[in-house]
Chains A and B, each alone.
Chain A
Amino acid sequence: MRSLDRRQLIKLAALAGTGAFLPRQASAVGEIFEAIAKKMSEGIKGTIGQEVETPLPVKGARFGMVIDLGLCIGCRRCSYACKLENNVPDTINPPYIMVLETKYKPGQIIAEEQPMKNHVNGNGLLYTKLRRDRMYMPVQCNHCADPPCTKVCPTKATYKSPDGIVMMDYNKCIGCRYCMAACPYNARRFNWWKPEVSPEKINPLVPLRLDGVVEKCTFCVHRTRRGRTTRCVEACPNKARTFGNLNDPESAVSKLIASERSFRLKVGLNTGPQIWYLTHPKEKPMIWYKPIPISPDIRGLRKSG
C-alpha cells in the first residue's frame, strides 16, 4: 500500500475532524432552534403543562398576615413548605420566603426603626445552625395595598386582586423584571433557567411556569380562596404565622395587628404592606427545631470570606 505524504495526512485528518465535529455542532444548533421555536409558541400561547383554574377572589375579604418574631425560630419550614406547595423549582434560590438572621439581645425590642446589621459571619441568609442569640425574620411578598410592582408592569401581568392578593398572570409576563427592580421587599423571583419540577412533586392546583417569567408568593391563592389557610402558616411549628381576613374585626389577624408590638416593613414608602410583624417582647421559652439547610449558591450575593 502506498504510504501517505504529509499533505494527504493533514487533509485526511481535517476531513475526519470535520466529520466528527459537524454532526455535534449541527445537533447543538438544531437543539437551540428547537428550544426557540418551542419558546415562541409557548410564549405566545401561555403556560406549559397543566391547565389550572384560579379560584375567584373572595368577596368582602382583604387577606393579610401577621408574623410574630418572638415565636419565629428560623427553622425555615415555612420556606420549604411554600416551595413544595407552589411548584417552585430548585433553580429558584432564594425561595419566596427568605429567613433573615440578625443579632438579638434578650429583651431588646426590634422594630423597623432599629435595623440590625449582621456581617460578622457573612450573609445572614446562609446560616446552618440555630442560635439563641440570633433573631430570625422571614420576609416575602407583602401584598401591598398600593403595590409598586403592579404600577410598573408594562403588561398588567401582575395585578392587585379585590381580596388584597397581588397576583401573577404568567401568560402575560414578558420577563422584563421591572417589578423586581421596583419591589422594596425583594419578593419576586425570576426563572433564570427552565424551571423543572419532578412530576411526583407537582401540585396540580398550581400552574407550572416557563423560563423567563417572574413568580412570587400568592398567599397560596388556590387554598386561601377555598377557605383554607396558607401552607406556610400550616408548616410553622411554633405558630409564628397567622393568616386571615383583615376586613373582619373578629379575625385573629385583626386582633394581632391592633397589638402595640405590631409594625410593618418600610412603611415610609407608602406601599401599604399587608404583612405585619410583632416585635420580640422578651425572651420566650420555645421549642427549637433543626433548620432546613438551603443551598449557599444564591445568585447575586457576594461570597463572604
Chain B
Amino acid sequence: MKELSGHIRENIAGSNRIFYVYCFILLVIAVVGLSQAVKSLAFGHGHSTMSDMVPWGMYISGLAFFIGCSAGATMVGLLIHGFGREDYHPVGTRAILLALLSIFGAMNCVMMDVGNPFRAMKIPFLLRNETSMFFISSSSYMGFMTILGAELFMTIKITRGKASSRDKLLAKLLAIVAVPYALVVVHSFTGTIFGVVKAREMWNTPLLPIHFVTSALASGFALVILVTVITSWIHNKELVSMDTFNHMGFLLLFFLIATVFIDVFDYIILSYSATEEGMETWHLLTGRYLVTFLINMGGLFSALTIVAFKKGRTPRGLLYATSITLLAIVAYRINIISVGQLVPLYPELGELEYIPNIHEVAPFIGLVALLMFIYAVLTKVLPLEDKVHASHT
C-alpha cells in the first residue's frame, strides 16, 4: 500500500501543467454537459426530441457504441494469456481500464435514458423478467464489470511484481473466460435487444447479434490501438514495438473484414426487400440518412484499405484507420437505432423524425469528457507500466 501511494505521489508530482489544464477542461465539459442530464432527471425527458413514435434516441446509440468498445480488452487479454503474446503486455492494463470505462459509459447511457433510474437500480435483484433481453444484457454488464475488475486487480498485482503463481493463473483464467463471456453474453445479447423486435424490419434479423459481435471487436480493438498510438506519442516512446503495431493492424483488418462482410450482405438483402417496411428502411438509408450511411460504409472500407497494406499498419496509419473505424461504427449505431424506428408503424402516420437536440447531445459529450477525465486520472494513479516487460520494448 505504501508503495502504491508512493507511486501515486510520484506520478502526480511528475505531471506537467498541460496535464492539469487538460483535466480541468475535461472536467468543465463534463460538469456542463452532465448538468443537462441532471435536469432531465429532475423534470423528465420532455426537452429531448425522442417521442412515442421514436422512443429510443442518442443514449441507446451510445449504449450500443460503448458496449462495443469494451471488447478490445478481452482480445488483448486473450492475446497475452491465451496465445502467449507477451509483447501486448504494456497495453494490457490500459485495455482493461478502457473496457471498464466503456461499460461504465454504457451503463450511464442507460441511466440517462430511462425515465426512472432510481427504480432501474433494483434490476436484477428486486425487479427482473428473465425473458427480456434488456434484463439479460444489463445484468450481464454487471458480470462483465466484475470479471474486468478482477482482471484489472490481478494485472496490477502482476505489474507491481507482487503476484503469486496462483494470482497469475487466476489472471490467465479470467482473461480466457472474459472472451466467451464478452462475445456470447454481453455483445450478442446487446444485439439481441434489437434483434427480437418483430415490429421493426431493420432490427428483426438473426444477423444483428453477430453484427454486434464483429463491430464490437472492430471498435473495441480500434480504441485500444488508438490509445496505444496516442500514449506512445504523448510519452514520446513506443509503448509497443513496430512488429506489435503491425500485428494489431492485421487483427483489426480481420475484424473489419468480418464487419464489412455482414454489413454488405445485410444491406444487399435489405435493398431487395419486398416488404413495404423494408423498402422504406432502404429509402431512409439512401435518403435522409445517406450521410451516416456513407460514413459507416465508406469509413469501414477506407479503414480496411489502410490496414490492408503493411505501410498502413504503422502508428500513423493506424491512427487514421482506428479513428475512421470508430467514426464508422458510431455512424452504424446511429443508423441502426434511428432508422430502425423511423419507419412508421402505420403508413398513415406520415414521416417520422428524430434529430437529437442539445439536451441529448450535451449530456453525451459530458459523459465522454467524464470518461476521458477518469481515464487520464487513473493512468496517473494506477501503475500501468509493466516494469518486468518494459525492458522488452
Which of A39, A154, A185, A300 is close to B135, meaning CB atoms less than 8 Å apart?
A154
Tell me if B296 is interfacial: C-beta within 8 Å of chain A: no
Chain B min CB distance to A223 (Å): 25
Bound CA–CA A152/B193 (angstroms): 8
A77: interface (CB < 8 Å): no
Residue A212 contacts which of B110, B115, B193, B354 (CB distance < 8 angstroms)?
A: B115
A255 within 8 A of B: no
Q: Which of A152, A153, A172, A194 contacts B44 (CB 8 A)?
A: A194
Chain B: which residue is nearest A188 at the CB level? B52
A193 within 8 A of B: yes
B6 interface contact, C-beta 8 A: no
Please report which residues of chain B, range 12-64, place their CB below 8 angstroms from some CB of chain A when the two chains form the complex. 38-39, 41-46, 48-56
Residue of A nearest to B110 (CB): A176
* CB of A293 closer than 8 Å to a CB of B: no
Nearest CB of chain A from residue B179's CB, rounded to whole Å: 26
Instruction: Report if A7 contacts B (CB, 8 A).
Output: no
Within 8 A of B (CB), among A35-66: 35-36, 39-40, 43-44
Cβ contact within 8 Å between B127 and A174: yes
B4 interface hit (Cβ, 8 Å)? no
- In the bound complex, do residue A190 and residue B55 qualify as a contact, i.e. CB atoms below 8 Å apart? yes
Bound form: Cα–Cα A115–B276 in Å: 10
B349 cross-chain contacts in A, Cβ below 8 A: 100, 123-125, 186, 301
- Is A203 an interface residue when CB atoms closer than 8 A count as contact? no
B52 near A154 with CB under 8 A, answer no
Number of interface residues, chain B, beta carbon within 8 A: 55
- Interface residue A3 (Cβ < 8 Å from any Cβ of B): no
Residue A288 lies at the interface, judged by CB distance under 8 Å to chain B: no
Interchain CB contact under 8 A, B118 and A152: no
A144 to B43 alpha-carbon distance, docked (Å)? 33
Q: Which residue in chain A gives the minimum CB-CB distance to B350?
A: A123
Q: In the complex, which residues of chain B have a beta carbon less than 8 angstroms from the beta carbon of A152? A: 131-134, 196-197
Give, as a whole number of angstroms, the nearest-CB distance from A229 to chain B: 26
CA distance A189 to B53 in the complex (A): 9
- Which residue of B has the minimal Cβ distance to A41? B118
Q: Given contacts A116-B347, A125-B350, A193-B46, is CB(A44)–CB(B119) below 8 Å?
A: yes
State which size class the interface on A falls in.
35 or more
Residue of B nearest to A210 (CB): B116
Q: Which residues of B contact A148 (CB under 8 A)?
A: 196-199
For residue A85, CB closer than 8 A to chain B, the reply is no
Q: How far is the CA of A188 from the CA of B9 in the complex (A)?
A: 55
The reply on A139 being an interface residue by CB < 8 A is yes
Is B46 in contact with A91, judged by CB distance below 8 angstroms? yes
Beta-carbon contact of B348 and A116 below 8 Å: yes
A156 touches B129 (CB 8 A): yes
Does A191 contact B44, Cβ atoms closer than 8 Å? yes
Complexed CA–CA distance, A172 and B118 (Å): 11
Cβ contacts under 8 Å, B128 to chain A? 154-156
B10 to chain A, nearest CB (A): 39
Q: Is B83 an interface residue (CB 8 A)?
A: no
Which residues 116-138 of B sit at the A interface, judged by CB distance below 8 A? 116-120, 122-123, 127-129, 131-135, 138
Cβ-based interface call for A2 (8 A): no
What's the nearest-Cβ distance from chain B to residue A183, in Å?
6
C-alpha spacing A177/B129, complex, angstroms: 15
Q: Is B87 in contact with chain A by the CB < 8 A criterion?
A: no
Q: Does B264 contact A (CB under 8 A)?
A: no
Asked if A299 contacts B53 (CB within 8 A), the reply is yes
CB of A142 to closest CB in B, whole Å: 12
Establish whether residues B53 and A190, one from each chain, have CB atoms under 8 Å apart when the complex forms. Answer: no
Which residues of chain B have C-beta atoms less than 8 A from A32's C-beta? Answer: 38-39, 42-43
Verify if B268 is at the interface (C-beta below 8 Å from A).
no
| Contact in complex: B116, A173 (CB < 8 Å) | yes
Q: Is the CB of A184 within 8 A of B134?
A: no
Given the complex, which residues of B lie within 8 Å of A204, measured CB to CB? none
Q: Given known contacts A100-B346, A153-B129, A190-B115, what 4 new A-B pairs fall within 8 Å (CB)?
A: A154-B129, A172-B127, A181-B341, A300-B354
Return the 5 tightest CB-CB contacts between A and B, nearest first. Answer: A175-B115, A212-B115, A300-B51, A299-B51, A300-B53
**Interface pairs (24), CB distance under 8 Å:** A35-B42, A39-B116, A44-B118, A118-B348, A148-B199, A153-B129, A155-B119, A155-B122, A173-B119, A174-B120, A175-B114, A177-B114, A178-B193, A180-B55, A182-B196, A186-B52, A190-B55, A212-B45, A212-B116, A213-B115, A271-B198, A299-B51, A300-B50, A300-B53
